[in-house]
Chains A and B, each alone.
Chain A
Amino acid sequence: MIEIKDIYKSFSGNDVLQGISGKFEEGVTNLIIGGSGSGKTTLLKCMVGLHQPDSGSVLYDGRDFTPMTYEQRIEVRKEIGMLFQGSALFDSMTVEENIMFPLNMFTDQSRKEKLERVDFCLERVNLAGKNKLFPAELSGGMKKRVGIARAISMNPKYLFCDEPNSGLDPKTSIVIDELIQELTEEYKTTTIVVTHDMNSVMGIGDYILFLHEGKKFWEGSNKEIAHTDIKELNDFVFASRFMKAAKDKF
């Protein structure tokens, strides 16, 4: 479980996060949603330590991450897997080398064991046999799946996904969402997904935290989200004509 308490973050006097708190349980898909510039990616970066919050704390199963030393953070980070918005695959490495990279760095497994793990991860994301391709040879959806395979290669306890559907067609988006949900349930990871994709929200949002202008406006599940009277949330959820029409119909 990951718990955030009263996170504040500002850049050059601009308050990006203003006292965000929340609890993200393991084995369920937790979503952080909000419009562009609402602070969701900044919150994610504060949680994984890419940004240092001005105040507040981030607890990984009770361990406060924010005051940790560099060495202590490394130990927590070995338990984290992350899928980046642009996949962030290493261009100079093949798919196999990308997935094997954390194993090379942090385990003493034999090459055979590492290759078996790579094959397992690739099979898990339905990319078996693509070991020798370079990132430049992959489609957007394949890159995301390789990103997921790399993220799960070390059996992470915590899985973070930053805009996993950005730039993908609706069908591929659903495949990625379902994959994230399956992995979360299978490995009982604490999964946090930052998104503004309403299909993801309605499809996999077990717990949703809604941010608006750096503040937490609402939290709940995808079953509750359509029945709130919070204007900012309704403006976000029912921004599209399709969602508006669906709401009017039902």
Chain B
Amino acid sequence: MNFTNFGRYILLLKSVFRKPEKLKIYLKEIAKQMDYVGVGSLGLIAIISTFIGAVMTLQIAFQLVSDFIPKTIIGSVNRDSSILELSPTISAIVLAGKIGSAISSEIGSMRVTEQIDALEIMGINAPGYLILPKIISGITMVPMLVIISMFLSITGGYIGGSISGAVTPAEYMQGITTDFNPYTIVVALVKAFVFGFIITSVPAYEGFYVRGGALEVSQASTRAVVISCISILVCDYLVTQLLL
């Protein structure tokens, strides 16, 4: 059964990447989706990243009980954790809930109200028109959101540390600028690219093959979020294993 679904998912992706009927209309749709995925998620990602950064600083400081370990390490650990894991993965999981469920519901509703059939009867490649702009917006906007998330998470750590007194601003700044390896940014962006693809394509697949009515659409939406989250975690492990 799962192999059948995987096969159908691959076949759907094959039809998604067919040549567009009219590039101009697709570009307009891509811009609309980028606005929704990118600008529309910015506030949520900003709040989550800032608070996670602040909490991380407090928790690292709490665990550093030895006087032999310099406080600057709090900044270093926070920086690497944010860049490598928290910003890409937590952002992706949050976006899977927000964007994934919306994509699945939108396409699923279109399926049950015959709007997808209408597109196909007109001679339009429905998977291409509906899903391609979403995937392109996912693989471009999620990495951008992750970059913003990294910055805000590290800034959140600075603010949290300063307010609580867990680490002085000078020590934190020294920590985040010591032994920085730019390759960690590359790893994070590869993760963000993969997660962006999962967050958009998996819910699109679930919505596209919905049969039934409102109940089935909501079930597909839930399934889309669950499968996306699990796929994100599996791919997180695989990418980390491959690149580090």
Q: Residues on A close to B: CB < 8 A?
A: 48-50, 70, 73-75, 77-78, 80, 82, 84-86, 88-91, 101-102, 104-106, 154, 160
Further contacts, 20 of them, CB under 8 A, given A78-B122, A86-B113:
A50-B121, A73-B123, A75-B123, A77-B123, A80-B121, A82-B121, A84-B114, A84-B117, A84-B118, A90-B115, A91-B115, A101-B122, A102-B122, A104-B22, A105-B22, A105-B25, A105-B123, A106-B123, A154-B122, A160-B121
Q: Which of A73, A90, A104, A160 is close to B25, meaning CB atoms less than 8 Å apart?
A: A104
* Set B18, B117, B122, B123: member contacting A50, Cβ < 8 A: B117
User: How distant is the Cα of A52 from the Cα of B49 in the complex, in angstroms?
Assistant: 50
Docked Cα-Cα span, A75 to B21, in Å, equals 12
Q: Is the CB of B123 within 8 A of A74?
A: yes
Q: Closest CB-CB distance, B92 to chain A, in whole Å?
A: 26
Q: Give bound CA distance, A89 to B21, whole Å.
A: 20
**A85 CA / B124 CA spacing, docked (Å):** 20
Q: How large is the interface on B (under 10, 10 to 19, 20 to 34, 35 or more residues)?
A: 10 to 19
Q: Closest chain A residue to B19 by CB distance?
A: A71
**Chain A at the B interface: SS class:** mixed
Across-interface contacts of B114 in A (CB, < 8 A): 84-86, 88
Q: How many A-B residue pairs have CB under 8 A?
A: 52
Distance of A180 from chain B, by nearest CB (Å)? 17
A-B contact pairs, 6 of them (CB 8 A): A48-B121, A78-B123, A86-B114, A105-B22, A105-B25, A105-B122
Q: Which chain B residues border A78 with CB–CB below 8 Å?
A: 122-123
Within 8 A of A (CB), among B19-40: 21-22, 25
Instruction: Find out whether the CB atom of B25 lies under 8 angstroms from the CB atom of A82.
Output: no
User: Is there an interface contact between A106 and B117, defined as CB atoms closer than 8 Å?
Assistant: no
Compute how far the CA of A183 lies from the CA of B204 in the bound complex, rounded to whole angstroms: 37
Decide: A77 and B121 in contact? CB cutoff 8 A.
yes
State the CA gap A5–B124 with chains docked (Å): 27
**Contacts known (A84-B114, A86-B113, A88-B113); A105 close to B124, Cβ less than 8 A:** yes
**Residue among A74, A84, A105, A154 facing the most chain B CB atoms (10 A cut-off):** A105
CB distance from B73 to the nearest CB of A (A): 51
From known contacts A77-B123, A78-B123, A88-B113, infer whether A105 and B21 are also in contact, taking CB-CB under 8 Å. Answer: yes
Residues of B contacting A73 with CB < 8 Å?
A: 123
Complex alpha-carbon distance, A25 and B73, angstroms: 82
Q: Which residues of A contact B25 (CB under 8 A)?
A: 104-105
Determine how close the nearest CB of chain A comes to the CB of B119; give it in whole angstroms.
Answer: 9
